[in-house]
Structure 1
Amino acid sequence: MSGQKLNLLVLPGYQGSGAGHWQTRWEALDPAFTRVQMADWDHPSRDAWCRTLDAAVTAADAPVVFAAHSLGCLTTAFWASQYASAEQLAKVAGALLVAVPDPSGSHFPQDASGFAPVPLTRLPFASIVVASSDDPYGGEPFSQNCASGWGSRWIGIGPRGHINADSGLGDWDEGRRWLGSFGEEG
């Protein structure tokens, strides 16, 4: 990361990110990463998750960068478009949005509530959407549409599944470099 102090907020998706997931590995490698702890990882509620994210951003004492995966991406988009104040949005330096899931897809968790329709409002901070060509939870066309609506840079990384622990990314240095670019922009 750059020399600027940042609050690196990790936003996992449904059921959290377990051992071997790049988010968990990043947290273990660098104490600057802090997981936003949702009250219920197995029954995600958009309202509850957005309010939890809201509290984390409010508590941040420096610029914030989100490292979001799956439902964490949708939480970020809903938070930015419907929950955050202008003061909170001004704290956000950027967001890495990885493996955006499609709420209308057949694999979307039935236990998740309130995540559709996805807001396609331009995000008021820099963002990158990263997608896999064979993600069962959200295809490239869906993620490209989200990236376009959000004003995000879109990056396809080929067939890597849901870009999770099963994708074999290890510490995912490339993702860390993309995340680090947000600290360099401000």
Structure 2
Amino acid sequence: MKISEVETLFVAGWKGSGPNHWQSRWQAKLSTARRVEQKDWENPKLDDWVEQLVRDVERASKPVVLVAHSLGVATVVHAAPRMQHWVKGAYLVACPDVDDSSRVPESLRDFGPLPTSPLPFKAQLTASRSDPYCSWDRAQQLAGHWGILLQDAGESGHLNEESGQGPWPEGLISFAHFMKAL
């Protein structure tokens, strides 16, 4: 699929994605992109985040491709059964293991347990071997549950600005391949 044929919805994680985060940079370059704006970025509630995502997907005027990072990934997988008719694909990056209390703050555990059913649309999970919020083994397990491809991002931390992934050109190339395969 071509970018011009879809509406690209960016689904940010806890506290949103700042102006130097790769999501914000990519969004600024894609003419058919917009961000899912959550009401409360600091104190996320699963039901609220899922409802907002589903509303935004249903408002789309074209087929939807989701680009989710961190807690945004957890939001997408929880909302997936309600969006299967609109979403053509989901590019998922750095899913936090919200089921592991040693990896995420208490305030994010509302997003667990993560669903284990296959996703109803094509998706890819990109994960790092050094993500403090999710082990590589858990990322492999999640990709297996969801029936999706897992891309190894090497030792890249949480794949965000803090881990040195500002524009993240490797991710943009990967996303382009993902889009071509849709």
TM-score (norm: length of structure 2): 0.92
Alpha-carbon distance between aligned partners in 1 of 2:3 and 2:41, rounded to the nearest angstrom: 33
Deviation track 1:112-136 (CA, whole Å, cap 9, x = no partner) reads: 3521111011001111111111100
In structure 2, the partner of 1:45 is 45
- Please report how far the alpha carbon of residue 55 of structure 1 lies from its aligned counterpart in structure 2 after TM superposition: 0.2
**What's the CA shift for 1:76?**
0.5
Counterpart amino acid of residue 108 in structure 1: V
- 1:169 positional shift: 2.7
Picking from 101, 117, 121, the partner of 2:96 is: 101
Q: TM-score with structure 1 length normalisation?
A: 0.90
Which of 138, 144, 153 does residue 157 from structure 1 map onto? Answer: 153
- 1:67-106 counterparts in 2 under 5 A? 67-81=67-81, 84=82, 88-103=83-98, 104-106=100-102
Matching residue of 1:169: 165
Report deviation, 1:108: 1.0
Equivalences, count? 181
Aligned mates of 2:73, 2:10 — CA distance in 1: 11
Where does the alignment leave 5 or more consecutive residues of structure 1 unmatched? none
Once residues 171 and 109 of structure 1 are traced to their aligned partners in structure 2, the CA distance between those partners, rounded to angstroms, is 27
Structure 1 CA distance, aligned partners of 2:178 and 2:59?
Answer: 20
CA distance in 1, matches of 2:173, 2:90: 13
What's the CA shift for 1:172? 2.2
Percent identity reads 38
The residue number in structure 1 matching 2:108 is 112
Shift of 1:182: 4.4
For the aligned residues, what is the CA RMSD?
A: 1.7
Is the contact between residue 7 and residue 62 of structure 1 (CA under 8 Å) also seen in structure 2?
yes
**1:3 and 1:161, CA in 2 relative to 1: closer, same or farther beyond 3 A?**
closer
Task: Encode CA deviations 1:119-156: one digit per residue, 9 max, x unaligned.
Answer: 01100111111111110011111111110011110011
Q: Conserved in 2, the CA contact under 8 Å of 1:135 and 1:160? A: yes
Query: Secondary structure at the residue paired with 2:37?
Result: coil
Letter of the 1:173 counterpart: P
AA aligned to 1:109 is: P
Q: Stretches of 4+ moved more than 4 A in 1?
A: none
1:142 pairs, out of 138, 144, 163, with 138
Name the SS of the counterpart of 2:117 in structure 1: coil
Distance 1:114 1:107 in 2: 14
One-letter amino acid of the structure 1 residue matched with residue 113 of structure 2? P
SS in 2 for 1:114: helix
